[in-house]
Structure 1
Amino acid sequence: MSRVRFHFNRRAALAALFLLVVEIGIAVYVTGGFVRWFVGDVLAIALVFFTLRSFSTLPAVRLAAFAFGFACLIELGQLLAVPDRLGFAPGSVLAIAAGSVFDPLDLLAYALGAIGSALLDRPVTRPD
């Protein structure tokens, strides 16, 4: 069994910060359509992946699987109306993060985001 090691990776942190800015831009300036609902979900998994990569040395495939699993749990929560049952105020940060509507296509977007993140891990985070 491998031990989880922590080590700050500046490049991964910068990638996560860049993705966060892009996601905020999509949320603020894109009102709907493919970019908002599909590309945004692909990038959300990349954001989770590179945020975790910024301090974790887990292999890329494991990290991608964790990010994908996390997103699937959130999607399951949407299917079971967990945000409503927990009383998250509409429009609150928690309600936005948890989402509100289950969509099976989101699972495809999450899978693509996880695979893409694992493939881009080494080129993005390699040392100078």
Structure 2
Amino acid sequence: MKFNFNLKYLLLTIFIFLVELLIATVLKDSFFIRAYLGDVIVVMLLYTFVKSFLIINETKLIIGIFAFSCLVELGQLFNIAEKLGFLPGSLMYIVIGNSFSWIDILCYGVGCLFLFLILKFKSDKNPT
């Protein structure tokens, strides 16, 4: 792992963040998009954010993001946001979440698998 600023990934991170913000605010009435697509996309947001600053093995990063996502979801099972003192409705309370769901873990897995397939396709297309 090595520090390296990458503007392309940072811009992609900002774009994905804006999509997530749009899902959370404007498309909040669309159950499928809010409940499932947002969780699939959030792992991509984490991936592009890390890649904005680090050169890191992509497969290990994807596995790490999946593990991190599962830990956050597990924290929701134990009401970690409340235990950390965040008030319902606060930004951190919303970011951390407050309801455990196996479906969310499945969505994180789908997002990570999608990332892995994109990278595999990209590497197959551009062999080095």
Is 1:23 matched up with 2:49? Answer: no
Residue in structure 2 matched with residue 74 of structure 1 by the alignment:
72
Pairs aligned (count): 121
Q: CA RMSD in A?
A: 1.7
Cα offset, 1:25, TM superposition: 0.4
- Give me the TM-score of the superposition, normalised by structure 1: 0.87
Q: Deviations over 1:27-60 (max 9, x none)?
A: 1111241100100001111000110011111111
The alignment-based identity, stated in percent, is 34
Give the letter aligned to residue 59 of structure 1.
N
**Distance in 2 (alpha carbons) for counterparts of 1:23 and 1:40:** 6
Cα offset, 1:87, TM superposition: 2.4
- Give me the TM-score of the superposition, normalised by structure 2: 0.87
Check the 8 A contact 1:49/1:114 in 2, yes or no. no
Cα offset, 1:69, TM superposition: 1.2
Cα offset, 1:112, TM superposition: 1.3
Alignment CA distance shift 1:46-1:66 (3 Å): same
**Distance in 2 (alpha carbons) for counterparts of 1:44 and 1:28:** 15
Flag structure 2 segments of 5+ consecutive residues without an equivalent: none
Give the letter aligned to residue 104 of structure 1.
W
Flag structure 1 segments of 5+ consecutive residues without an equivalent: none
**Larger RCO of the pair (alpha carbons < 8 Å, separation 6+):** 1
